[in-house]
Structure 1
């Protein structure tokens, strides 16, 4: 791959995840403080990510794979996203905001697959080349969080009260506009599926890989993937409002420690996976989820502030050791015929079904433990995902049988 093309792909990945991290992390804090949304309404807003993930396969399967170049669709979607983000910036009531954020997620979630398609199309050896491009996406998320906390100071108490946090949507709109225009300069990525071939709903949703459920281990892994995303939703939905509410300075910037650890553990994953195997890698990830929520439950911003930082830093293990390992495992089990559909099925189950349930439960529990002064009993709230993750840990340890997985770094 030419250096100029690699630079284009790295820039594309940087902007793609800068856009996501620039508003999604602080969404709960913004809604609660600026639009006076209830915990249930905040859960509804976060669940739009899941609806976007559920609808995304239709966009990719019907349109991107069959009719138009991936880079052109990427450009159009981000230009539409820029408009929606600006309208979200102008919103003053949750009802109107919710419609906009739902529309935005339906537009944005397909772009996650499109940037991968554009990248893979330019690579001779994706196994070696892709990680060096994808890491710029993580850097984009980090830069977004650091900008909010340490450059613009939008997530500080006084700034939140004055409504400055809504500027995250304006910043995202500008970044979306930039990526939308930039996408039309990316290397051409034409559709690879023959148009005349009949497409079925079963193929689009990855349901042609359902035969994999005949393998007991894969079925256990699939169900565990759905279940573990329920406690994961608590982190995405509640972490930033929790840290801001208990008084952590520069909470959004400090949450980027999770993405920094993600880079480190991504480099460690091949060694750990090869030495200890898939089952132990997954169990370490699930155990890290339990530990993270326990640290949040018992930590504070004073003498136990280090517990909160450790809990944030565990994101690298939680994400890489579960999701990336799961993608490797799914790829090894699927075979050539079902590689893409199997990955689509797992994505639908986790970011779609699993997190959709998780956001709903997180909203309900947060409402139960809301005090009259507007604060929450966070210790009790965090014990729920900790306990749930522990149950999934035990079930996976019992029912998943150790097996050797072929893995090439």
Structure 2
């Protein structure tokens, strides 16, 4: 999305801008968190475990397609808040439809999930776009607004867990209602016009050619390669952490998983403290090593005596996500020039949430279908073998990054 200047309307009404945007962000991630975390458990309950990897591949594919299908069009033709509203209204209808598909069988289920993700994934960028356009000081205001997104995910998980809906198709109904509310509410958000209206579509911009040119810098190319690779074992967590936690014996799966988002919120607030002391390379490395430690905790936490390790693995989510992905976005912003900041961020999303997660979903799905085939105590041993594979992969990628990434940060001027 394009960068925006501050409008008179933004300056005139700062009092209510942050609360309005915070509610938008809260609902944006409440919708996603309500169903995404425990989708694998619901699919297992209905005998669709073999399709979990495919279901979690729909999001990465949508992440690859959405910048090309929507990003340039929104910048040139449509107001962001209106497109945000329309997509959430269509998404609400698709979510409302899903429980019936589970009840009647798997016919068309994956296609409906894919259609929904095509609607939802662009809304993440659209909500960011509305927020950045509406805030007079985005550096101070956006972290507050974005934090409410994490809070929305946490609240959704706590509601699903407390009401015992973790393995129920009612999670889609809950998400549909929230999506309907957000769809209607979006039309009341501050007007965010198409900033490039009237400009012709450029194939060079559409293909992010200027952002790809950044790969000529060795350190950025190494980062993109390692970011893509680390996203492959990462996909195993999103798709199979909830089924694993359920298999280990936890009942309130969604509530337990929400501890990860609480950790994410805490470490997001601590990023400025660590950033000044550790720098980009060390923080990225710690984030990658945290993925290894998380999976090792899962592998070692299958017995009642070591069950506490599962909690450690979940709580590590804050380090895993914030130290790698949030710092990765900051690093990318530093490397990119003013003209390609948006393209560079889209490129990073394309390779991580898109290509890396897609490959990871397919690989983890194939490994799961071959290795986790039993039930009870025997299944726990199989789960242990399953988690050691992404753990070893994350450790190897971290080693590759440590020895090949060489980026010197420019000293700050007082």
TM-score, length-normalised on structure 2? 0.93
Mapping 1:2-401, distance limit 5 Å: 2-34=14-46, 36-39=47-50, 41-92=51-102, 93-150=105-162, 152-155=163-166, 160=167, 165-200=168-203, 202-300=204-302, 302-373=304-375, 375=379, 377-401=382-406
Q: Which secondary structure does the structure 2 equivalent of 1:212 belong to? A: helix
RMSD (Å) for aligned C-alpha atoms? 1.5
Q: CA deviation at 1:406?
A: 6.3
- Aligned counterparts of 1:278 and 1:6: Cα–Cα separation in 2: 29
Q: CA deviation at 1:62?
A: 3.2
For structure 2, list consecutive stretches of 5 or more residues without a partner in the other structure. 1-12
Any runs of at least 4 consecutive aligned residues in structure 1 with deviations exceeding 6 A, and if so which? none
Is residue 247–residue 301 contact of structure 1 (8 Å, CA) maintained in 2?
A: no
Q: CA deviation at 1:405?
A: 4.9
For structure 1, list consecutive stretches of 5 or more residues without a partner in the other structure. none
- Aligned counterparts of 2:299 and 2:390: Cα–Cα separation in 1: 10
Q: Which secondary structure does the structure 2 equivalent of 1:121 belong to? A: helix
Q: Which residue of 2 aligns with 1:404?
A: 409
- Aligned counterparts of 2:342 and 2:407: Cα–Cα separation in 1: 25
Is residue 264–residue 316 contact of structure 1 (8 Å, CA) maintained in 2?
A: yes
Q: Which secondary structure does the structure 1 equivalent of 2:56 belong to? A: helix
Distance 1:402 1:73, change over 3 A: closer
Deviates more, 1:50-59 or 1:80-89: 50-59
Is residue 332–residue 405 contact of structure 1 (8 Å, CA) maintained in 2?
A: no
- Aligned counterparts of 1:249 and 1:301: Cα–Cα separation in 2: 16
Is residue 274–residue 407 contact of structure 1 (8 Å, CA) maintained in 2?
A: no
- Aligned counterparts of 1:205 and 1:296: Cα–Cα separation in 2: 40
Distance 1:105 1:298, change over 3 A: same
Q: Which residue of 1 aligns with 2:10?
A: none
Q: CA deviation at 1:300?
A: 3.0
Q: CA deviation at 1:336?
A: 0.7
- Aligned counterparts of 1:26 and 1:134: Cα–Cα separation in 2: 23
Is residue 81–residue 192 contact of structure 2 (8 Å, CA) maintained in 1?
A: yes
Deviates more, 1:220-229 or 1:247-256: 247-256
Aligned residues: 396
- Aligned counterparts of 1:219 and 1:405: Cα–Cα separation in 2: 19
Q: Deviations over 1:110-162 (max 9, x none)?
A: 00000000000111221111000000000000001000111x1123xxxx4xx
Deviates more, 1:357-366 or 1:367-376: 367-376
TM-score, length-normalised on structure 1? 0.94
- Aligned counterparts of 2:213 and 2:299: Cα–Cα separation in 1: 41
- Aligned counterparts of 1:138 and 1:74: Cα–Cα separation in 2: 19
Is residue 329–residue 405 contact of structure 1 (8 Å, CA) maintained in 2?
A: no
Q: CA deviation at 1:208?
A: 2.2
Q: Deviations over 1:23-58 (max 9, x none)?
A: 000011111112x1133x111110000111011102
Is residue 206–residue 340 contact of structure 1 (8 Å, CA) maintained in 2?
A: no
Q: CA deviation at 1:238?
A: 0.4
